[in-house]
Structure 1
């Protein structure tokens, strides 16, 4: 990355301030040199409750997750999902590692933008494609840092809006993924269901959307996805509920309604069937005990 000194990141360093990871957004800059006070291993065997975006500015870092170790170089953006075990530090063969980061609990509708089309629950990676993209991303980080530190009216809301722009820009920069062969009518139904998980939609209404009979739609859906429409939607609802339990403190009843279940007890029984834990137990797995200087 070129000219990281274009922004005054230093005043956002752990050397200059303390951080609390109980907020919905915390951002900072970590300059590390050999033997400095910040030159230490960050070890999170249970991950974090929220997400972390981490951008290397200069030097080299080592990141390990699920037994796999990788280097991060200038221009590498890392996304740490909730609960992903990881640890990282300055690489042994580099005398520095400067990185800027933001820890956050996303707005619920951001979740689909945070998978980065990469399988598994480990750390995701985006290599910024060139100087212009790097400058845009750095500017968005600076905007987040400036707003989050301002302490003024609506500062957190402004920082969250800047973070949303950063997340969307990362989505735009992701390499194009091959699209699995799927009947476009089934793809359209899946998209519609995902966008309306809280709604009760009848098979007949879905069939009308793609100009099929209900029986033909049901047959084609099972042929394409090896499951029924209702089972597929149920799995998507549980998946969305898991994300909401990880990233928010919304009441269980509210999350149940957000994914289409008015009856909290029914939702809890259904959730346990899929996850082998109650919603409350699942949320407790992501309770964090984070030291002040942990990022």
Structure 2
């Protein structure tokens, strides 16, 4: 029987999927076969990606390995992985890079289940990239001092696939995946040490990905907090919620475009992350006491 990721050659023990707040995207295998013939996407192609927050009972056992290479990044809690006859604990910051067709088992710790960001990938350059990452990190299981930047990139992979399985979407996912794997290869093996605070990491992700929206649940999972903890931090330190902070970022982008370009208001709305120009205009007027057109007509200030 196939598991939730559509593979017939693996067994799944314990909870399969259905974790609260999870995200999971699976690229149809017919689309994968076609994309692998593309001169760019075919070099490194993401076939599946997701996030499992606090994944109690999560376990994967693949006696013959997965068809694709697998990257796992733990941003909270703990788990374990057994590959090549050796078992390793995986705590916050732990990353696992599993080569295709190699037997492995991994799962969440019972008392403190991990929050796991992951993607499967294949392509002409994929095996070489895995080997290079293993050589740099000293093996398939390693540690990142701060996993949030890599989790942010995995989130961008998910967003790219979720935006539509077009060539452009697959290539955006490819770019974010390359960056994530390069981060693992370049920064793996670092011992735990000082890093940005969870709030700083969350703000950094939002600034880097604006105007795209990130849910509070996904943002919290990325930085190792609950949604309520992260929301409380935003209100305490910044005086507003994560969602209102994202609105501020989108409005800042809109002001920049209205002042510095001749784009029509509908195009400004799209660039600022709003699909509905009328809704954008109402939101803009609510925040600035001017419509977008009136804001532009007033001329640049300063």
Q: TM-score, normalised by structure 1?
A: 0.46
Q: TM-score, normalised by structure 2?
A: 0.45
